[in-house]
Amino acid sequence: MITVMKFGGGCLRDGAAFLKVGKIIGRQKHGVAVVSAVSGVTEMLLTAIEQSKQGEKFIPGILARLAQKHRVIIDALGLSGREEQRLLKTIRDPLTRVRRLLTGIAYHGDLTPAVRAKLLSYGERLAARLLAGLLDGQGLPARALDAHRVGISTDDNFENASIDRDRTRKSLAAKAGPLLRQHTIPVISGFFGRGSHGAITLLGRNGSDYSAAAVAYALKAGRLEIWKDVEGFMSADPALVQTARQLEKISFAEAAELSYFGAQILHPRTVEPLAGTKTRVFIRNLKLPESPGSEIVAGKSGREEDVASITANKKLANIRVHGAGIGSKPGLLAGVSSLLAAANINIHSVLTSHTCINLLLDSGDGPRSLQRLKALANGVIKKIDLEEHLALVGVVGDKIMEKEGIYARIFTAVAREKINIEMAAAGASAVACYFLVRRTDLDRAVRAVHDEFFGR
């Protein structure tokens, strides 16, 4: 049975973490690793882009810091002198290519989406080389494989690409399959793939989870383990609720809802490539490798509790588009959505009435969205407001739609704390209920709902 293991950046933060990962991989007879960038490297590359726009003089310092970040890890791996030199050589070429890309940005003063995606892919490429070098040095034959070359195929969206399952299966099985038969561990870079025209595309935040699921699908893996440096799914954020408990099992639908709006445990599209397969999916904790973690199951979770988890998100903004009869104006909502889509602004949710359209966005997109939509404030649209004081509470569970009284318990628990619900959406999802409160009330609202369903 093939086991695909994905390791996030938090699992690859230093040499000690790499050594733990090496031990975990070494226990598998037929293992495939998918990696994120070393912790902090993607942020370094994003900073490098902005600094390079200001001039070429910043590039040597950028490259020196990036090289040092990886060399410190190599020094801590305990490799022989020969193996260490070989590993240092394997990271030299990617760093040279990063320098060339940054020089191009400095020369032009700007960059295209294609160049940005290509540059950001190097964090994962470097991490794959480090891990493959470690495994080789421990007597476990391994080969680093760049995602776009091994066959992670996508559409042509540079920032949030969708994986093409069929193209990925054909290519990846042909290129990684022979390595497995030769007892060589494929170490595949996550987070990016190859568009239909050959350009590198990114899969979005936590995109390596999505990559790993595609690899598991392509290789018909029996098991997918997504390793993090935190616990698996919890009944609430432990930072907000001290009595939060780990969930042993959670359904695909519940996991997707939790990941989409609040819990940054998993890429919300992770389960898509595995639809209809028998691959078992687990979230594991590198700090507690003996723990089985949380299993994500295809059907119902089978838990006794009425809800799975209460999630929260403070990083949201709401745009209110006002106008008499706005809800009955054909094409108006489509026009609003198209205007924001053209600026690469994602709308998380839409709530409408006859006189108002509410658009839930990332807080960072709020001011930009308001500016773009002001051009529409004439005729039917009378006023457009930006609300930045709101936060979202999500109550997720696969019994929500089928058991009487759950909505009443949620809203009664919040009302007991004298917290006003500013807006709510119930029924849009079969496994989730969402509502908005003032940010200052968020923590109390989460604790109140958690206490209602899990006890104090």
Report the distance separating Cα 394 and Cα 431, nearest Å: 10
- Count Cβ atoms within 10 A of the Cβ of residue 159 and give its class: 0-12 exposed, 13-18 middle, 19 or more buried: middle
Tell me: the pLDDT tens digits for 404-430?
899 999 999 999 999 999 988 876 778
- Architecture of the structural domain at 3-229: 3-Layer(aba) Sandwich (3.40)
Tell me: the pLDDT tens digits for 50-94?
999 998 999 999 999 999 999 999 999 999 999 999 999 999 999
Let me know: does 168 contact 217? Beta carbons within 8 Å. yes
Question: Would you state the pLDDT for residue 427?
Answer: 67
Token pair for residue 304? Answer: 């006794």
What is the three-state SS of 414-436?
HHHCCCCCCEEEEEEECCEEEEE
Residues whose CB falls within 8 Å of the CB of residue 374, separated by 6 or more in sequence, listed in order: 384
Q: 3-class SS at 200?
A: strand
Query: What residue spans define the domains of the chain?
Result: 3-229
Tell me: the pLDDT tens digits for 266-322?
887 888 899 888 899 999 999 999 988 899 988 777 788 889 999 999 989 999 988
Let me know: does 115 contact 73? Beta carbons within 8 Å. no
pTM of the model: 0.86
Looking at this protein, which amino acid is placed at residue 295? E
Question: Would you state the pLDDT for residue 262?
Answer: 64
Q: Where are the beta strands (DSSP E) in 36-189?
A: 142-145, 185-189
* Closest residue by Cα to residue 374 from 366, 315, 348: 366
CA-to-CA dists, residue 402 to 431, 433, 451, angstroms:
9, 13, 21
Let me know: does 158 contact 207? Beta carbons within 8 Å. no
Span 196-205, average pLDDT? 93
Tell me: the pLDDT tens digits for 315-350?
899 999 888 777 677 777 888 888 888 888 889 888
